[in-house]
């Protein structure tokens, strides 16, 4: 009886996790949960000897593994994401800010919903898909992060890092460092080279790397 109980729990648990994975907006989380559900169902169906379902879940699990490996490779791949500077009155920027305004306020409540005078805006894209928006404001040689937003689908990624990693993009504007806002919810900056400084994180920009990048782009 106990064995039957655990077998039922395995089958129902795998099925429930499979359904739950389909509700995920984050692409990497979806693939990961779907993979775990598939592995549970492989074990369940193998015990019962339902080999067609074992084969089906083995195929879907293999597909998920391939997608997860590709997504993890792309996670910090500058060739995957492109940074585009946009004007503060750009209509597409306004559209993105309006579409995701409510979600933005949850993660960065201090952002007023529109960039202000003297600020600079960048849209991070993957192909023709918008994955994030970054707004900075200069104070001397320091770029203060006013907004670093990622759309739900790519929340397992850190596309804003491609703005910070493009040292030539910021150094060309006279910035020597980047400083975060203390109001950003669940910051990720310690994972990409920023150092903690009180309630904020600071990144010292590599001036030599920026100069080399600018030279290579000029060739």
As a dihedral over the C-alpha atoms of residue 41, residue 47, residue 48, residue 52, rounded to 10 degrees, the angle is: 60
Residue identified by tokens 């169902």 is: 41
Structural domain 82-218, CATH architecture: 3-Layer(aba) Sandwich (3.40)
| Span 33-62, average pLDDT | 95
- 81 has a pLDDT exceeding 50: yes
Contact 61, 42 (CB under 8 A): yes
Tens digits of per-residue pLDDT, 190-213? Answer: 888 899 998 899 999 876 544 444
pLDDT tens-digit profile of 107-144? 888 899 999 999 999 999 988 889 889 999 999 999 99
195 within 8 A of 153, measured Cβ to Cβ: no
Residue whose pair of structure tokens reads 């805006």 in the numeric block: 121
Q: What end-to-end distance do the CA atoms of the chain give, in Å?
A: 74
pTM: predicted TM-score of the whole model, two decimal places:
0.73
Q: How is the chain split into domains, by residue range?
A: 2-74, 82-218
Mean pLDDT of 79-106: 90
The predicted structure's pLDDT at residue 162 = 72
């Amino acid at each position: 009886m106990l064995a039957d109980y655990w077998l039922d729990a395995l089958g129902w648990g795998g099925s429930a996790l499979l359904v739950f994975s389909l509700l995920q907006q984050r692409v990497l989380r979806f693939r990961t949960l779907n993979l775990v559900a598939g592995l549970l169902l492989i074990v369940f169906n193998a015990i019962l000897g339902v080999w067609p379902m074992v084969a089906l879940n083995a195929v879907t699990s293999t597909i998920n593994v391939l997608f997860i490996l590709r997504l993890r490779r792309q996670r910090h791949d500058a060739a995957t994401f492109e940074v585009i500077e946009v004007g503060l009155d750009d209509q597409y920027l306004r559209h993105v800010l309006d579409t995701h305004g409510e979600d933005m306020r949850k993660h960065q409540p201090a952002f007023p919903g529109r960039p202000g005078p003297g600020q600079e805006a960048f849209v991070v894209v993957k192909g023709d898909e918008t994955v994030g928006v970054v707004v900075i404001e200069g104070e001397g040689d320091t770029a203060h992060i006013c907004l670093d937003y990622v759309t739900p689908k790519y929340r397992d990624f850190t596309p804003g890092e491609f703005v910070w990693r493009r040292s030539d993009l910021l150094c060309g504007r006279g910035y020597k460092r980047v400083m975060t806002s203390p109001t950003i919810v669940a910051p990720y900056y310690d994972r990409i080279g920023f150092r903690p400084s009180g309630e904020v994180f600071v990144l010292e920009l590599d001036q030599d790397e920026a100069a080399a990048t600018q030279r290579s782009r000029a060739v």
